[in-house]
Amino acid sequence: MSTLRAAGLCALLLCLFAAGAPLAGAHPMAPALLELREAEAGRAEVRWKATRLLPRGTRLEPRLPSACAASPRRLEEDGQSVSLLWSIDCGEAGLVGQRIGVEGLESARIDVLVRVVLLDRRTYSRILDASDAYLEIPERQSKARVAMDYTRLGVGHILSGVDHLLFVFGLLLLVASTRSLIRVITAFTLGHSVTLSVVALGLADVPTRTVEFLIAFSVLLLGVELAKPLVARDAGDGDSPSPIGWMRRRPWIMAAGFGLLHGMGFAGALADVGLPGEEIPLALFAFNVGIELGQLVFVFAITLLRVALRAQLEAAPHWLAVAPPYAIGVLAAYWCFERAAAMLAY
Edge-to-edge strands of the sheet including 99-103? 61-63, 99-103, 134-136
Reply yes or no on domain 32-141 having CATH 1.10.10: no
| Residue 105 Cα distances to 33, 56, 61, angstroms | 13, 13, 9
Cβ atoms 78, 42 nearer than 8 A: no
Which residues are CB-contacts of 274 (< 8 A; sequence separation ≥ 6)? 33, 35, 113, 115, 125
Residue bearing the bigger pLDDT, 35 or 274: 35
Coil, strand, or helix at residue 101? strand
DSSP 274-342: ---TT-HHHHHHHHHHHHHHHHHHHHHHHHHHHHHHTTTTTT--HHHHTHHHHHHHHHHHHHHHHHHHH
Q: How far is CA 63 from CA 38, 55, 68, 133, in A?
A: 17, 21, 11, 10
Q: Which has the closest alpha carbon to 197: 142, 264, 244?
A: 264
Cβ contacts of residue 338 below 8 Å, gap of 6+? Answer: 23, 25, 216
Cα(5)–Cα(8) distance, rounded to whole angstroms? 5
pLDDT for residue 22: 43
What's the CA gap between 109 and 72, in Å, rounded? 28
Is 123 within 8 Å of 102 (Cβ atoms)?
Answer: no
pLDDT (tens digit per residue) in 44-66: 999 998 877 666 667 788 899 88
- Check residue 337 and give its pLDDT: 92
pLDDT for 325-336, tens place per residue?
Answer: 888 888 899 999
Q: What pLDDT does residue 87 have?
A: 93
* Residues with Cβ within 8 Å of residue 263, at least 6 apart in sequence: 191, 192, 193, 194, 195, 196, 197, 199
Residues 31, 290: Cα–Cα separation, whole Å = 15
- 238 and 255 Cβ atoms separated by less than 8 Å: no
Reported as a single tens digit per residue, the pLDDT across 253-294 is 899 999 999 998 888 777 766 677 667 888 889 989 999 999
**Tell me: the pLDDT tens digits for 216-255?**
999 999 988 888 765 544 444 444 445 566 777 788 889 9
pLDDT of residue 341 exceeding 60: yes
Domain with CATH 2.60.40 in the chain: 32-141
- Computed over every residue of the chain, the mean pLDDT equals 79
Number of H helices, E strands in the chain: 11, 10
Compute the distance between CA of residue 137 and CA of residue 254 in angstroms, rounded to an integer.
46
pTM reported for the whole predicted model: 0.69
Check whether 125 has a pLDDT greater than 80. Answer: no
Reduce the DSSP state of residue 151 to 3 states and report it.
helix
Q: What pLDDT, on a 0 to 100 scale, did the predictor assign at position 2?
A: 46
Please tell me the predicted confidence (pLDDT) of residue 86. 94
The share of the chain scoring above pLDDT 90, in percent, equals 17
Q: What is the pLDDT of residue 244?
A: 61
How confident is residue 16, by pLDDT bands cut at 50, 70 and 90? very low
pLDDT digits (tens, 9 = 90+) for 156-209: 888 878 888 889 998 888 887 788 888 898 999 999 999 988 888 888 888 888
